[in-house]
C-alpha cells in the first residue's frame, strides 16, 4: 500500500483548524497569503469558491504531492458581501443592519493535489435568520463574545446562537467555517478517507 499523502489546511483560521481536527486526520497548517478582495461586480456566491480554490492552489504550489484544503466564507445580505468586522463599531453596524433579516453564508471548500491533478470545490449556502435585535442585546453580545474575526459578527457555535431565529443548512458545520460533510467527500475523491476502511474487503 502506498503511504498516505500529506494533508495540509491552507488557512489561518483557528475555527477551521478546530473543525478539521474532528476528522482525526494528521494535517499541517499553512497560510495561503491570498488577496481576498472581491473583483468588480463579483457576487458573494462567486467570491467564496474562487477564494477557496485560490487558497488551496497557493499552498499546493508549494507542496505538489500534498492534498491541500482551502476554504472561504462570505456572508451575503441581499447580494452585498458582509465581511469580518475587525472592531466593535463595525460589528455594531453589521448586526444592526442584519437584525430581522435573512443572511446567506456561502461557505466554500476546495481540495487540490497538484501531483494527481485533483482539483474540486463545493459551496454550501447556509440561510441564517437574525432576530429583531434591540441595541442593548447587540451591545451585550459583542462585549461578552467580541466576535470581530467572524464574518457577520456572530459566533453561532457559542453565544451568537441567541441572536438567531433559524439556521437552514444540509451541512451542520458549514456556518462555523468548514463544511465537514463536503470536505470528507472531497477528501475521499482525492484519495484520503477519514475512516480508512476498505469497503471491498
pLDDT in tens, 13-25: 999 999 999 999 9
Was domain 7-190 assigned CATH 3.40.50.300?
no
User: Whole-angstrom Cα distance, residue 169 to residue 87?
Assistant: 28
Active-site residues, by number, are: 72
**All structural domains of the chain with their residue ranges:** 7-190
**Per-residue pLDDT at 140:** 97
Q: Which residues touch 160 (CB under 8 Å, ≥6 apart)?
A: 141, 145, 147, 150, 154
Residue range 135-153: mean pLDDT, rounded:
94
Q: At 188, which helix (H) or strand (E)?
A: helix 180-190
pLDDT at 118 over 90: yes
Using CA atoms, how far residue 48 sits from 11, 64, 114, 179, in Å, is: 14, 23, 21, 13
Amino acid at each position: 500500500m502506498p503511504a498516505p499523502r500529506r494533508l495540509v489546511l491552507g488557512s489561518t483560521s483557528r475555527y477551521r483548524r478546530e473543525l478539521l481536527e474532528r476528522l482525526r486526520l494528521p494535517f499541517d497548517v499553512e497560510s495561503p497569503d491570498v488577496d481576498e478582495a472581491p473583483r468588480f461586480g463579483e457576487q458573494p456566491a462567486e467570491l467564496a469558491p474562487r477564494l477557496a480554490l485560490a487558497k488551496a492552489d497557493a499552498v499546493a504550489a508549494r507542496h505538489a504531492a500534498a492534498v491541500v484544503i482551502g476554504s472561504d466564507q462570505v456572508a451575503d445580505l441581499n447580494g452585498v458581501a458582509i465581511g469580518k468586522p475587525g472592531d466593535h463599531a463595525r460589528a455594531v453596524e453589521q448586526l444592526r443592519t442584519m437584525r430581522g433579516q435573512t443572511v446567506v453564508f456561502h461557505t466554500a471548500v476546495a481540495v487540490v493535489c497538484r501531483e494527481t491533478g485533483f482539483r474540486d470545490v463545493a459551496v454550501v449556502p447556509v440561510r441564517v435568520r437574525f432576530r429583531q435585535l434591540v441595541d442593548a442585546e447587540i451591545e451585550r453580545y459583542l462585549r461578552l463574545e467580541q466576535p470581530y474575526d467572524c464574518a457577520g459578527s456572530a459566533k453561532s457555535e457559542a453565544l451568537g446562537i441567541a441572536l438567531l431565529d433559524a439556521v437552514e443548512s444540509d451541512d451542520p458545520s458549514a456556518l462555523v467555517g468548514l463544511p465537514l460533510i463536503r470536505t470528507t467527500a472531497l477528501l475521499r475523491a482525492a484519495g484520503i478517507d477519514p475512516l480508512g476502511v476498505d469497503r471491498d474487503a
